[in-house]
Amino acid sequence: MPRQFFVGGNFKSNGTVDNIKAIVDNLNKSQLNPEVEVVISPPALYLLLTASLIRPEVKVAAQNIFDRGNGAFTGEISAQQLADAKIPWVILGHSERRSIFRESSEFIASKTKAALEAGLSVILCCGESLEEREKGITLEVVTGQLQAVANVVKDWSKIVVAYEPVWAIGTGKVATTQQAQEAHKGIREWMKKAVGEKAAEETRILYGGSVTEKNSGELAKQEDVDGFLVGGASLKPAFVDIINSAAQPRLQ
């Protein structure tokens, strides 16, 4: 059974009430490919506003959680609170969380486990730096990040993996279609061994890294590219074109 194409929009720490409303309004009135699963992720402050306004087939994701549940954790949001607020998705392991906030793969794995136990679905990010790519250890780095999750999570049915080469995030640089496909294929082959053949076949692997409406069509054709995690372009009207790029026939 083919994997459903998935496009996520990560707004990061951007937005005001007015322009979040404008982004949502544009999505609501646009013709979106009904075969694509779409999830958008505004800053935490605007999660409930976004969820209250967006068309029902588009879902909303938080950008982070804490792994310890409710309690004396000032400034944090728990997985249980997201579930209570009917926010069904969360992005975890984004390169900015790993690099700027020094989150370890083990901490991200713990958060992933907490999210799944609360009934949330997870966009699990992984990726390598430019230095690591130039050393030829891309797959070693990426699968190491994912292995930390495999150590504590056995059921990956509610996980979507997002491969995001760190050197291509916000830089305007994009992995070539061949580089993206090679990395995605390597992740899928690792999953067969570490998680299981069924999970490897069914888990969607997204590409993230300066995705725009100009390069999404070609990337969408690749056999193991099952969608995108879009950053800055998700704030623009062209996000609709990226969603609809899934109309491209997949290469086999």
From the list 179, 221, 183, the residue with the least C-alpha distance to 205 is 183
Question: For 219-248, what is the mean pLDDT?
Answer: 93
Q: How far is CA 146 from CA 13, 72, 81, 94, 191, in A?
A: 25, 29, 25, 12, 9
Domain 6-247, what fold? TIM Barrel (3.20.20)
What digits encode the pLDDT tens for the residues 49-90?
999 999 999 999 999 999 999 999 999 999 999 999 999 999
Q: Is the dihedral of CA 230, 233, 235, 236 positive or negative?
A: negative
Of the chain, the percentage scoring pLDDT greater than 90 comes to 89
- Which of the pair, 144 or 246, is modelled with greater confidence? 144
Annotation says 94 is catalytic: yes
Respond yes or no: is residue 164 known to be catalytic.
yes
94, 128, 184, 213: the catalytic one is 94
Q: Which of 103, 128, 164, 213 is catalytic?
A: 164
Asked if residues 195 and 150 have their Cβ atoms less than 8 Å apart, the reply is: yes
Residue-range domain boundaries for the chain: 6-247
Binned at pLDDT 50, 70 and 90, residue 170 comes out as confident
Mean pLDDT of the region 133-162: 97
pLDDT bin (cut points 50, 70, 90) of residue 246 is confident
**What pTM, to 2 d.p., does this model score?**
0.96
Band (pLDDT 50/70/90 cuts) for residue 249 is low
Q: What pLDDT was estimated at residue 247?
A: 63
- Is the confidence at residue 48, as pLDDT, over 80? yes
